[in-house]
């Protein structure tokens, strides 16, 4: 009987053996209060590192089995509780002798193993189901201007994914080599292209590491010169990418089947993920789908009201300013923000009002403002001649003119606030 037949007949069962010298938390390199995702992540990394197929170190296999045993216990809530309390998982847990027993603690294991080893696994010795390996995902990045991200744009990026070697069709044999005549049956898998590995309490079936799942190997003289018999090469490609309107920094755009092809077999390629970076605007500020803009409002418009022209991402619009607006007031322009990704909705645009005060006044302007001041506060007007004399005397470099000027504009601001309160009443 063949080795495969003997394995299929005897089946297997899982048994948990406690090793007093091994702390499962230390084996996985996690803290005792580690969460389930943290334990799963640590197991994933260690299992990939010490898998016998990837690590040829003599002690890798034993290390891998310890890692598997630790994860088997700590990934199951009841077993972990028993282990924390007694230093050992319940010996009755997973002790059944039937095929596939003891898998209650391996939620999501199929996904983990598929990601790590490109294959599928079975809890029944010698009866593993077939699998299709998938290529790795790849990443790229792209930088957009502010308006390109707002409106959406089509760009092109350059990538170098792993592809099947074109001259040999991904087979690794040079062109002209007779099929079968130049290849030898793989001794490891005996031509099946599949190898079965026992890991802990279950079997894993994956492509044979010796022949890369082909079932045969190529002699050095018949290897394809383009790929050196690997059947895979990196190829430079220019890929068009559609950036949706409303895209923002940190978002990723997915392009299916543009990643690496599988290292073994002929499964589907991985995906391409393009990370977006958006440059800031000199005019607007953005928070999510909302736009913010600082609007400078002339003094007379703030007092009397009026209409101002305001830029938006769709172009300029006319905005009505009510009389008596104050510095720091905010206006909202509905649906004038950024389009929400994969939605017909839009954000809003907010206008932060900054009232612009004049830094210098002519004598006529000053007289008019004083009239307004007297009207609003009920104070008598000052003598223009006296004011002129005081202004002349303060030009000798003293601080009097500056203080008077500061007091004047402070008074103007207070008058506006009083006017607003009076108007509200």
| DSSP structure string for 215-276 | SEEE-GGGB-TTTTTSSEEE--EEEEEEEPTT--TT-EEEETT-SPPPSSTT-----EEEEE
Residue 118 pLDDT class (50, 70, 90 cuts): very low
- Spatial CA neighbour of 8 closest among 213, 199, 196: 196
Report pLDDT for 170. 81
Q: How far is CA 362 from CA 283, 359, 366, 369, 415, in A?
A: 33, 11, 6, 11, 20
288-312 per-position pLDDT tens digit: 999 999 999 999 999 999 999 999 9
CA dihedral of residues 124, 129, 132, 136 (deg, nearest 10): -10
Name residues whose C-beta falls within 8 Å of residue 367's C-beta, 6 or more positions apart in sequence: 384
pTM (2 decimals)?
A: 0.53
Biggest alpha carbon–alpha carbon distance for the chain: 123
Task: Give first-to-last CA distance, the chain, whole Å.
Answer: 102
Q: Is the dihedral of CA 382, 386, 388, 393 positive or negative?
A: negative
**What whole-number percentage of the chain has pLDDT above 90?**
35
Name residues whose C-beta falls within 8 Å of residue 18's C-beta, 6 or more positions apart in sequence: 87, 88, 89
170-208 per-position pLDDT tens digit: 877 787 665 544 557 777 777 777 777 766 666 677 777
Q: Can you say how many angstroms the Cα of residue 341 is from the centroid of all Cα atoms in its chain? A: 15
224-270 per-position pLDDT tens digit: 888 877 788 999 999 999 999 999 999 999 999 999 998 766 789 99
CB distance 269 to 261 below 8 Å: yes
CA dihedral of residues 124, 129, 132, 138 (deg, nearest 10): -20
257-300 per-position pLDDT tens digit: 999 998 766 789 999 999 999 999 999 999 999 999 999 999 99
Tokens of 379: 């104070």
Q: Can you say how many angstroms the Cα of residue 81 is from the centroid of all Cα atoms in its chain? A: 34
CB distance 69 to 62 below 8 Å: no
Q: In whole angstroms, give the CA distance from residue 348 to residue 345.
A: 10
């Amino acid at each position: 009987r063949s080795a495969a037949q003997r394995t299929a007949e005897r089946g297997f069962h899982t048994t948990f053996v406690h090793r007093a010298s091994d702390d499962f938390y230390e084996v996985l390199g996690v803290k005792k209060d580690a969460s389930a995702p943290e334990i799963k992540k640590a197991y994933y990394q260690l299992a990939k590192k010490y898998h016998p197929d990837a690590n040829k170190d003599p002690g890798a296999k034993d290390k891998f089995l310890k890692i598997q045993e630790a994860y088997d216990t700590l990934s199951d809530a009841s077993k972990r509780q028993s282990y924390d309390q007694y230093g050992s998982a319940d010996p009755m847990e997973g002790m059944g002798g039937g095929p596939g027993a003891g898998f209650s603690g391996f939620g999501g294991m199929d996904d983990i193993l598929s990601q790590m080893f490109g294959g599928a696994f079975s809890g029944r010795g010698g009866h593993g189901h077939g699998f299709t390996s998938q290529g790795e995902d790849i990443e790229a990045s792209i930088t957009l201007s502010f308006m390109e991200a707002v409106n959406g744009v089509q760009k092109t990026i350059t990538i170098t994914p792993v592809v099947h070697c074109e001259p040999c069709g991904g087979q690794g044999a040079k062109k002209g080599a007779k099929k079968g005549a130049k290849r030898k049956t793989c001794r490891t898998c005996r031509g099946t292209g599949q190898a079965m590995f026992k890991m802990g309490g279950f079997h894993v079936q994956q492509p044979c590491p010796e022949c890369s799942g082909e079932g045969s190997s190529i002699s050095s003289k018949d290897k394809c010169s383009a790929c050196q018999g690997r059947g895979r090469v990196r190829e430079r490609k220019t890929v068009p990418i559609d950036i949706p309107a409303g895209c923002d920094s940190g978002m990723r755009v997915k392009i299916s089947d543009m990643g690496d092809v599988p290292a073994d077999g002929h499964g589907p390629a991985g995906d391409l993920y393009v990370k977006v970076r958006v440059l800031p605007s000199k005019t607007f500020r953005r928070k999510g789908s909302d736009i913010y803009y600082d609007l400078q409002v002339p003094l007379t418009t703030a007092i009397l009201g009026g209409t101002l022209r305001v830029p938006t991402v769709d172009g300029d619009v006319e905005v009505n300013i009510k009389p008596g607006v104050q510095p720091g007031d905010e206006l909202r322009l509905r649906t004038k923000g950024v389009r929400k990704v994969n939605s017909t909705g839009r954000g809003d645009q907010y206008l932060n009002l900054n009232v612009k005060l004049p830094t210098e006044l002519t004598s006529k302007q000053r007289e008019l403002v004083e009239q307004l001041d007297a009207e609003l506060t009920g104070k008598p007007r000052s003598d223009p001649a006296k004011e002129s004399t005081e202004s002349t005397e303060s030009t000798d470099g003293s601080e009097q003119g500056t203080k008077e000027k500061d007091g004047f504009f402070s008074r103007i601001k207070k008058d506006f606030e009083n006017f607003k309160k009076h108007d509200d009443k």
